Amino acid sequence: AQTVTQSQPEMSVQEAETVTLSCTYDTSESDYYLFWYKQPPSRQMILVIRQEAYKQQNATENRFSVNFQKAAKSFSLKISDSQLGDAAMYFCAYRSGEYGNKLVFGAGTILRVKS
Amino acid sequence: DAGITQSPRHKVTETGTPVTLRCHQTENHRYMYWYRQDPGHGLRLIHYSYGVKDTDKGEVSDGYSVSRSKTEDFLLTLESATSSQTSVYFCAIQGQENYGYTFGSGTRLTVV
């Protein structure tokens, strides 16, 4: 079974600085997707960024980018120019390639942003 | 999210009582999921559905049952609520193939 590990329960960053959240996963599959979700205090789950395993290029969405290391099974999230609104719980998630397959989540990382 | 709603948003219930949580989608998606969120565990899959009357168990299905009689509705029932089922419950739908899920706003359930 696939597993997702987020080894940082909590992280802090100064406003306007850069922070990287770590995620590793375990799988024997070659076709899969990886995701980062943000959960602010409102409890809403918000998709931040996704990466297809077959793509070598790292995904980028505005201030959010990933470092996808397929061989190392690592999928870290970098947040640049951190803002107070980035404070949230962040979940890394894995989904195997077949449509309809379940998402497997890591335990989450709480990100605190200091002003 | 606009296409998926959960009810109720909050609920307090007593141990031993049955509880049903509702998930409603307007997107006509085939796949629907129920997760629970607990500190230190992230979100864990309870049950999922791949069509009307087609459901299957996830990793934490004990004590839960589901039903899907219409495409748009997916119900989660706690047959006899226990304190260990105090949690936040999320429903989700699978959208476009290479996208993640869209989640409902969650139900905070407290079993006293």
On average, the pLDDT of chain A sits at 95
> What is the structure's pLDDT at B97?
60
Residue range A25-54, pLDDT digits in tens: 999 998 999 999 999 999 999 999 999 999
Average pLDDT over all residues of chain B? 93
Interchain contact, B33 vs A47, CB within 8 Å:
no
pLDDT score of B101 more than 60: yes
Structure tokens at A16: 């306007």
pLDDT (tens digit per residue) in B27-39: 888 999 999 999 9
**Which tens digit of pLDDT belongs to each residue from B57-92?**
999 999 999 999 999 999 999 999 999 999 999 999
Judge contact between B90 and B108, C-beta under 8 A.
no
Provide the pLDDT for residue A100: 74
Task: Report yes or no: B34 at the A interface, CB cutoff 8 Å.
Answer: no
Strands B4-7 and B19-25: antiparallel
Chain A residues lying within 8 Å of B58, measured CB to CB: 102
Band (B1; pLDDT cuts 50, 70, 90): very low
Q: For residue B31, which of A89, A95, A42 has the smallest C-alpha distance?
A: A95
- For A31, the closest chain B residue by CA position comes to B98
Is pLDDT above 80 for A102? yes
Q: How far apart are CA A98 and CA A78, in angstroms?
A: 27
Quickly state the pLDDT bin for B17 (edges 50, 70, 90): very high
Q: Hey, are the CB atoms on B100 and A95 less than 8 Å from each other?
A: yes
Instruction: Give residue B100's pLDDT band: very low, low, confident or very high (50, 70, 90).
Output: confident
For residue B18 the two structure tokens come to 């049955």
In chain A, which residues have their Cβ closer than 8 Å to the Cβ of B99?
A: 47, 50
